[in-house]
Amino acid sequence: MADDGGADKGEYIGEEVAKAIDDGINAVFQLKEGENPPATLIYSKEKVISWSNQLLDYTNRNLSKLDKPFKYCVSCIIQQNNDSKFTVALGASFDTNTDGICSAQREINDIVIIISVFAMLI
């Protein structure tokens, strides 16, 4: 594969995927680095579908900007944080040398967001 400054273009780099997820969350919820989210940003069951669609769209766009030869599968869970228990488990059978999984959880006031990305080398 072509040399691109030391990083193999086909190499899965979890940090880049985590940043793509984080940037998507910041864009959808209009959050700025280092600032607290506005107190008015609270869970709304009427907004969950829109938020989910936007998060998937932003995350997929951010992943495509990485210009890596991967197919991505992205999932999004949004839940209200009301002290109820919630467990997520991810599993896949893939080549650990070329593929990867990244899952990120963010809590924004009473909103819990979990985005998971499965990346498979083409």
> Which CATH class name applies to 3-121?
alpha beta
Helices and strands per DSSP (H, E), number in the chain: 2, 5
Compute the distance between CA of residue 26 and CA of residue 22 in angstroms, rounded to an integer.
Answer: 6
Confidence (pLDDT) at 7: 53
pTM of the model: 0.85
Chain center to CA of 84? 23
Name the band, by pLDDT with cuts 50, 70 and 90, for residue 8: low
Q: Where are the alpha helices (DSSP H) in the chain?
A: 14-28, 48-65
- Sketch the domain layout of the chain as residue ranges: 3-121
Residue 67 pLDDT greater than 70, yes or no: yes
Q: Which has more confidence, 23 or 85?
A: 23
Q: Where are the alpha helices (DSSP H) in 45-101?
A: 48-65
